[in-house]
Amino acid sequence: MNKDRIIVALAVVTLLLFILNIGSCINAYNQNALRKKEMLQRMELEEKSGKVVQERAGLAQELEAKNKELAEEKANFEAAKKRLIQEQLVSESLKSELEKVTKLKEALEAATKKKSSFTFNKKAQQ
């Protein structure tokens, strides 16, 4: 009987150890699966991070190019503005010259009319 009790106790202990061993294997499997899942997530995040960094660099270059283009357009605008001011000054100068010429022409026409009327009157008096 003593042997039977020892055999039963050993069987129970063996069964408990077997159950603990299976539980430990399941726990190790779950931890391994979680570790692989976490590694996969980290790799995906690294890839996304790399893409974001590349995209950011590309956008920075594009921004720099747009800023250069804007500076060129601004310089062109300023040059056109200066040309426009110069042309306006030339136009004003030409207008004033035209006004002077017009006044001289009118004065000349008036003098011509006076002269012709004076010669007409002189002929009429003779």
Distance of CA 6 to the CA centre of its chain: 83
- Find the Cα–Cα–Cα–Cα dihedral 51, 56, 58, 62, rounded to 10°: 160
CA-to-CA distance for 46 and 42, rounded, in angstroms? 6
Task: Give the pLDDT score at 49.
Answer: 97
Structure tokens at 1: 């009987």
DSSP of 36-99: HHHHHHHHHHHHHHHHHHHHHHHHHHHHHHHHHHHHHHHHHHHHHHHHHHHHHHHHHHHHHHHH
Task: Give the pLDDT score at 112.
Answer: 85
For each of the chain's 126 residues, which pLDDT tens digit applies? 788 899 999 999 999 999 999 999 999 999 999 999 999 999 999 999 999 999 999 999 999 999 999 999 999 999 999 999 999 999 999 999 999 999 999 988 888 887 777 666 666 666
Task: Give the pLDDT score at 123.
Answer: 62
Task: Give the pLDDT score at 23.
Answer: 96
